[in-house]
Chain A
Amino acid sequence: MEFTSPSDFAKRQVLSVQEYSLLAVRSFTNLFTQPRYIRDTLQQMDFIGVGSLPIVVLTGFSIGAVLALNSANALARYGGLSFTGQLVALSMVRELGPVVTGLMVAGRNSTGIASELGSMKVNEQIDAMRALGTDPTKKLVTPRVIATVIMNFFLTIIADLMGLAGGSVVARFLLGLDMNQYWTTAWQILAFGDVFMGLTKPLFFGFIIATIGCYYGLSAKGGTQGVGRATTQAMVVASVLIVVVDFFLTRIIMVWLPS
């Protein structure tokens, strides 16, 4: 096993943050320069968005159902079983919908992007692309970032709806609550700030998922083992960043738009 000095380790980490930041900024500034790869972006939207739909639908529904089940257990102790719909709606829209969708999309797409770009990197296809006069950040990174940000936004809305649907099934068939009451209270409890928070988070999470996947893919080295390492790192870092950024976003939006 090779040992590295703490200063070398620290320098490498700082360099990684710098390289990631530059890539993230370029992925954004590329939006304002030619050429724009619209076909590639639509392909990625299909792959990332439509491809992630089944897992988002399933997890959204399950999380909503479990949330209703668990919250009903606690609410029943205080005679507040009728608040189940409100609790599911607030939890799903503000927090669980965006985070769970983010984690699911990260698991599927951050790794997918890292392994695809990593394979291209170790097979010299990225160098070939540069040699052919194409900027890989424009051709590969920006379309993936746009696609992930847009599709993660819509996937989160679908996950929220599926979560509410899962909760309603549990509320109706296991808790014996009235469906009309469940949906009415769930709808009425949601304020502008809740929806704003729930729809802002997926934009940031989508950006994190795509840029982290691209960064680790484009940094891959060392053959197939390097691609495997890049894939794992992309998944871990994207997931951790989603959870950490979620906290700060929640805090900022709560301060900016108090309930």
Chain B
Amino acid sequence: MAELYPVEEHAESLASERDRAIIFDNVSIAFEDRQVLDRVSFHVRRGETKAIFGVAGSGKTLILKLTLGLIKPDSGRILVLGYDVTAMPEEELFELRRKIGMVFQESALFDSLTVEENVAYRLFEEHDLPPEEVRESVLETLRFVELEHTVDMSPSELSGGMRRRVAIARAMITQPEVLLYDSPTGGLDPVTSTTIVELLVKQRDVYKTTSLLVTHRLQDAFIMATHYFDRQTNAMKEIPTGSPVNVATTFILLRDGKVIFDGTAQELAQSRDPYIRDYLS
């Protein structure tokens, strides 16, 4: 990665930039005549999960695609793991993207491949591993999302929730440093949604992965902010009142292309801003 573009070394900001996995600095982008993001700035610390809210069309998914460098902004800088993705050519972005996992809204599984081939996609692309080792790794990852039995199935044989979980398995098989979730519970029933949220909490607390989570479901993000994963019982549990457990989950809210809130669940719930009150209700 030596040829990539490292962050300029401003002495005073170096320490804080190193601590930040993702930085959006005055990012703007417009489509046709519509300004979708207007000088958006925020950052995500290493190990932190940031949930992005906003009404449909507010640019939530766009933020994920910008983070991956799939789309370039009109202005502003985006730093991911210290690299300026707005200045990198596509060929170099492929290398950086191997450190990032993304779960797409509609799963985006390759329908011509089996579940095993989908989950192992990165292993086949990046490593020259023997088939037995790949299969073992796939089974281990599928076990994490409790879908071990689907390994030889094709995506068309899976339900919506199962596809979403396979997509999560595909994103996390190489243990990326950053995970991007695009509405992972969208369109799913409450039981399946809870299963997915539990998986995200497990991923956050077990692997401490930096995450950006786009969601329409406030309750999912609040569950993430108020629960932790208990390794002993292998289940998600509510954080007791007064507990020192810090799950490092914060929220941002988008409105008319701008970030109008950036803070914790508690701060969001206590906000007196009329729009936020209205949004939360």
Interface residues of A (CB under 8 A from B): 35, 120, 123-125, 127-135
User: Are B126 and A133 interface neighbours, CB within 8 A?
Assistant: yes
Whose C-beta in chain A lies nearest to the C-beta of B69? A130
User: Are B97 and A132 interface neighbours, CB within 8 A?
Assistant: yes
Whose C-beta in chain A lies nearest to the C-beta of B102? A131
Given A124-B106, A127-B108, also A132-B122 (CB < 8 A): yes
Whose C-beta in chain B lies nearest to the C-beta of A137? B90
| Chain B nearest CB, measured from A82 CB (Å) | 54
| Chain B nearest CB, measured from A7 CB (Å) | 16
Task: Provide the bound-state CA to CA distance between A141 and B110, in Å.
Answer: 16
Hey, which chain A residues are within 8 Å of B104, CB to CB? 124, 127-128, 131
Interface string of B42-72 (1 = CB under 8 A from A): 0000000000000000000000010010100
User: Are B102 and A128 interface neighbours, CB within 8 A?
Assistant: yes
Interface centre among A120, A124, A132 (most CB of B within 10 A): A132
Task: Provide the bound-state CA to CA distance between A132 and B102, in Å.
Answer: 8
Q: Is B279 an interface residue (CB 8 A)?
A: no
Hey, which chain B residues are within 8 Å of A134, CB to CB? 94, 121, 125
Of the four ranges (under 10, 10 to 19, 20 to 34, 35 or more), the interface on chain B belongs to: 20 to 34
Given A127-B65, A130-B70, also A135-B106 (CB < 8 A): no
Q: Return the 4 tightest CB-CB contacts between A and B, nearest first.
A: A128-B108, A133-B98, A124-B108, A131-B102
Task: Provide the bound-state CA to CA distance between A133 and B96, in Å.
Answer: 8
Interface string of B86-129 (1 = CB under 8 A from A): 00001100110110111011101111000000000110011000
Whose C-beta in chain B lies nearest to the C-beta of A125? B108
Task: Provide the bound-state CA to CA distance between A160 and B170, in Å.
Answer: 48
User: Are B121 and A123 interface neighbours, CB within 8 A?
Assistant: no
Task: Provide the bound-state CA to CA distance between A35 and B126, in Å.
Answer: 10
User: Are B122 and A131 interface neighbours, CB within 8 A?
Assistant: no
User: Are A123 and B98 interface neighbours, CB within 8 A?
Assistant: no
Which among B65, B68, B101, B110 is the interface contact of A125 at CB below 8 angstroms? B110
Given A127-B65, A127-B70, also A133-B108 (CB < 8 A): no
Q: List 17 A-B contacts (CB under 8 A).
A: A35-B125, A123-B108, A125-B109, A127-B70, A127-B104, A128-B110, A130-B68, A130-B94, A131-B102, A131-B104, A132-B121, A132-B122, A133-B95, A133-B125, A134-B125, A135-B90, A135-B94
Hey, which chain A residues are within 8 Å of B100, CB to CB? 131
